[in-house]
Chain A
Amino acid sequence: MARFGMAIDTVRCVGCMDCVVACKTENSVPEGFNRDWITTEVTGTFPTTHLEIRSERCNHCDDPPCVSCCPTGASHVHDLGAVVLVDADKCIGCKGCVASCPYGARFIHPDGYADKCTFCIHRVEQGLLPACVAVCPTHCMHFGDLDDPNSDVSTLLASRRHHVLLPDAGTKPRIYYLT
């Protein structure tokens, strides 16, 4: 069983937001909403400043509170790659999953259901990379099977320093940031 994840190289990322724009067009994300976003963390004092720029989205957590809290089963872990998805036809829009995500990855689509990053499962099923990964002009995003030791992501994680977001929140996120 595959377990999809991402390894994003913050050394290369320039924060251009192409990943965000590509997600919007690929997935017709409505105006005023975003499935992914850029966080820029500035530390230090000028001129010894340090930046970490991160392309963030749903972490497709191994232990997803958004799934466990969903009363209808609309939020679920998909067979392919253990991707966390929402079945819009089952969602009642109770917003429990929105509150349960420590990353703020979910939002309520104007059509009334919970929406978020799908890892572009519709593309992955066709053998394509997620839209954000495929568009990134700096080639800093990597997508693949974390359980396959030979995958792009696994080899990068084995060879580079990395961290995840809010590890203490206990959700076991699957998006890794290479530093």
Chain B
Amino acid sequence: MSTYSRRKFLKISAATVTVASGAAGAAGAAASAKAAAAPDKPSKRAAQGVQRIPTYCDICFWKCGAIASVRDGVLWKIEGNPEDPLSRGRLCPRGTGGIGAHFDPDRLKRPLIRKQERGQEVWAEVSWDEAFAYIATKMHAIKETYGPESVAMFAHGIGGNFLKHTLKAFGTPNFAAPSFAQCRGPRDVGFRLTFGEDVGSPERTDIKNAQCLVLIGSHLGENMHNSQVQEFAEAVGNGASIIVVDPRFSVAASKARHYLPIKPGTDLALLLAWMHVLVEEGLYDKEYVAAHGFGFDQFAARIASCTPEWAYPETGIDPAVIRETAREMARHRPATLVHPGRHATWYGDDTQRSRAVALLNALLGSWGHKGGFYAPSSMDVPGYPYPAYPKPAKPKLDNPGMRYPFAHEAISTGIREATITGAPYPIKAWFTYATNLIQALPNEDETIKAIKNLDLLVVVDVIPNEIAGWADVVLPEAVYLERFDDLNVELFREPFVALRQPVVDAPHGQKPNWWMAKKLAETLGLAQYYPWKDIEEYLDHRLTAAGMSLADLKTRGIVRGAPQPTVVEEGASLAFETPSGKIEFYSLQLEKAGFDPVPVYTRHAEGPPASFRLLFGRSPVHSFSRTQSNRILSDMMDENEVWLNADMARRMDLKSGDYVCLRNQDGVVSNRVRVKATERIRPDCVYMVHGFGHTARGLKHAFGKGASDSQLVTRYATDPLMGGTGMNVNFVTIEPEAARG
């Protein structure tokens, strides 16, 4: 809350203040929503005046609690729900601009069935019944010939829950999301191997209490995961010592006391050198390590040769700076947080790099301590008592024979591979829910190759994105502001449960996922898996079982539970679910599986001469490839740029605003993209914001604007531990726009 006092300079009657949400809190806000709405039904939406309806955001997967305002029946704005521990009353720019998703004129409107070859984007509009009948017929045929396991589903986000339920009932075990093998997988595995637990999402990082914060490529401030950014600003405001390691002078770097402009792909060398300094100079938390560490001596022996001088030619970071920053970290421990990052799939050795991050944190004693990693908690809300699913006859096939032994979630690219090869068994149908596989998975050609092997591709989306272009059946979903969804019961600083509920009607009869999932199940003859009449009954059942009620949640949006101790300082105790029950400095698991028990640095291949390593990241106003047609957010940024070191630009006779094309090592040429000549990046790499350069013609507004990094990611380095796809291994040259052809 702001310290600005209302009464000081304004004499305002108390009555007018009740319309306010900021200060009144969710309960007050809901009450005023009721007051403003028609007498008994606050959700009737033709009403005049302003109604405020709590829900939670879906522009990314942070799921911030929000309150949407509807003015005279028209969606007006959306703000943070002050009761929500994730947003703390303030949404990120994408969340604030989320209403643009409802108004997007390019939205999918009606169910579509493909009329021409796949990828031609030619469909016929059909009724919902026709669409489901079509899908069910195909599915029965696939089940008949190949078995139900030959249906796979890719889903990103909570909205996929019901469809997953239907497909589990149908009998398949094959579900994956790009959020593991293309995102946080290596990090979670690296931390699991070390501490026995994931970092989770939302991350269990106590950023706001950190006295020293180390960001290795985590570009908070551009990466707008709300709570993290808020806490980051708090840490900056508190004068925390910030150390940023990034080849690019990120926004976070501009807040740093130490900025380390590392050569891309060499972070592991830096991490080993840092640990070397901490061990050699005896700066690490000896007590903590003695009490909780396993295999420390072997670990210490292995990193003995990793001096800052050794790391210097690899990383380009001055040994004196490496020592100084290591000492800085030690000075503030255990309140020194080496951020684990999130999108960790960079170079294929990412699990080991993440493990090194974990080990560095272990040396600093930050795991379990204030300003480090806290122990999250969640509300106990039982699932719905569904009948048991049929047991699939075949095991899931994303990771056959545990080729990637430490993958603890399904590997999306594994399913893709099986779809191409037909081994260990064929995959003949894909369902995608809220994931644009064309942009999310590396090597678009492989994805298309797999799609061509399918008998059925069903895409559930809200806009005609690239993946929809390849679909046989497109099911238009109502956007999050128009639907109920499952409850958000996330692990976080304190337990809470949040409700997503409709704020406005879907403009063209688009349907929510739960309705589609139920309807599909019924068409497939699986009605027994949907004992509830509608989602409100489902939600109320779950909430009642947890001692809450849907009616209450509808007015408040969020119910918080009693906070639990989160760090040792608050009385939490440390426990590690590793085989040794301790923090594994030396990993016997890894050794047994034939991997380095302590991370070892290897040099990554360089690109062809005169090429730049292609790096990518986030814009604060966009989410991946899902927001470029949102007119509010595209008004903030409607095209990405390629960041090029100013000196290089001068040499190449390019200036900011010039259009160029990028050609990668495999000859793929990007759409035209503007140069940003800048002092904010190393000369050996270029950078762009992910998600632009749309090729889907239905995205009228976003089509052809900017360039797609995904298109240029034709190569990827697979992490042998968990199957993650390192994507920062592509190189591009820059050519004038005219050379495109």
Contacts and interface: CB of A to CB of B under 8 A. Distances in A.
Please tell me whether chains A and B touch each other in their complex, using a CB distance cut-off of 8 A: yes
Contact of A18 (B6, B22, B93): B93
A34 B681 CA distance: 29
Contacts of A179: none
A126 B19 contact: yes
Contacts of A47: 249, 259, 261, 682
B9 A2 contact: yes
Given A15-B251, A16-B93, A134-B79, A46 B12 contact: no
Given A47-B261, A51-B251, A51-B254, A42 B680 contact: yes
Given A24-B635, A49-B249, A137-B230, A129 B2 contact: yes
B621 interface: yes
A167 interface: no
Contact of A126 (B16, B249, B253): B16
Interface in B638-658: 645-647
A16 B219 CA distance: 12
Contacts of B10: 2, 80, 124-125, 127
Closest 7 CB pairs of A and B: A14-B221, A138-B233, A51-B254, A47-B261, A16-B620, A18-B93, A25-B77
B231 to A, nearest CB: 10
A21 B93 contact: yes
A46 B261 contact: yes
B327 to A, nearest CB: 21
A32 B631 CA distance: 9
Interface in A79-134: 80-81, 124-129, 133-134
Contacts of B633: 21
Contacts of B230: 137-139
Contact of B12 (A18, A26, A126, A136): A126
Interface stretch (A68-76, A144-152, A168-176): A144-152
Interface of B: 2-6, 8-10, 12, 16-17, 19-20, 22-23, 76-80, 90-93, 96-97, 99, 220-222, 224, 226, 229-230, 232-234, 236-237, 249, 251-255, 259, 261, 620-621, 631-633, 635-636, 645-647, 678-682
Contacts of B233: 12, 14, 137-140
B237 A16 contact: no
Given A12-B237, A15-B221, A129-B4, A46 B681 contact: yes
7 contacts: A2-B10, A21-B621, A24-B635, A42-B679, A51-B254, A139-B233, A150-B8
B646 A25 contact: no
A136 B236 CA distance: 15
A22 interface: yes
A75 B9 CA distance: 23
Interface string A1-44: 01010000101101111101110111010011010000000101
Nearest to A9: B237
Nearest to B224: A16
Given A15-B620, A21-B93, A47-B259, A31 B631 contact: yes
A165 interface: no
A42 B656 CA distance: 14
